[in-house]
Amino acid sequence: MSAIHAVTFWNGTGSAVLGAPCRRVPLSASADFSGQEHMITAIRPSPHRFRRAVHAMVTGTLALLLTVGTAACTTPISADIPPYALATHNDPEFDRTFRHEFADIEGVRMHYVTGGTGTPVVLIHGWPQTWFGWWPIMPELAEKHTVYAIDLPGLGDSTGSPSGYDKATLARYVHTLIADRLGVRDARVIGHDFGAAVAFQYATQFPADTARLGYLDLPLPGPSIDAATYRSMSWHIAFHSQRRVPEAVVDDVREYLALFYPQVSFGGSAFGGTSDRSPFTDAEIDEYTRTYSRPEKLAGGFELYRALDQDVRDAVAAAPTPVPTLLMTAQGQLDPVRTTAAPRMTNIVRAVDVPNAGHWLIEENPQFVTSELLRFLAG
């Protein structure tokens, strides 16, 4: 890839490479403009009487291209910006309130983002997302709460392999970070997708350390739905549950994610529709691609599905939690989800489906989700 000047950016594997965020014309007296990747076509040698005119034309064209290219391309990324900060390094709203932190927890280095003041709120992501899935609503939550948005062990920018990807084990890692390391003993724990199952396990294992539970859009594997039935609910659950198969098949991670997100969006095929609209921006997909393109992260995400049999056993064995609970689902999915959750969540104080939202509640209707969370957290 040619560039006006060499810049360093971080690729999906976390290593530094030289390049530029988009195609640019090389600034060189001997530059070759004949390659197809360049932005102008070749200029052949001209007779002497035309050289001055051609030189002026090329100079003017280059100046225009440099101006347009500079405006169109992203700001060059400095080598001293770590990969985990790429999505937030140029965001003044992030810089005003939040910071990236790491903590070593039982052989895993856990990454989390924290900021704000007030009662503590722990945000737990699902698949295929990271802490960044909460970013659209974090600034408003942080106005009244201290927010901890975590990367689950083995995912996002957390490094190392957890002892298991079952949700009870992951909940213990989160509890060790939040309660033991950070000293938070009154957490409001909110989870989405598989993060909701982790949040449930946090509440049922550590009810004394859990002030409130937010359970967002996941049929709970357990007493009401066994693992075999769960795998039959969607092609992707069955596919991701296979050993080694998804890792071997998924070649282009970005394309896979970009094709997957619309399927479980409002009006997508998972809800009987035909919409291929994605609620995710290119920048958001780029950020998730950055982490899930790492082979160990891609495999870790699939392990969330492969743990379903253990998740069912753990939920069946779990004591029903009396922690005040908010249940929030995609539009039209409240009753099916509540049927699976109610046997293990005995104090559901608020249950609502999100208008005009599929599975991606936050991306599809952030205002509604934020309003519901703030009201619930204030109770």
Q: Which residues are catalytic?
A: 193, 305, 359
d(CA 103, CA 88): 20
Cβ neighbours of 277 (radius 10 Å):
13
The reply to whether omega before 21 is within 30° of 0 (cis) is: no
* Tokens 């932190």 sit on residue: 101
Question: What six digits make up the tokens of 56?
Answer: 């002026």
Determine the 3-state secondary structure of 80 from DSSP: coil
Question: What six digits make up the tokens of 30?
Answer: 């001997």
Close Cβ partners of 63 (under 8 Å, ≥ 6 residues apart): none
Contact of 22 with 73, CB cutoff 8 Å: yes
d(CA 220, CA 197): 7
Q: Which of 105, 107, 146, 151 is nearest to 125 (CA)?
A: 151
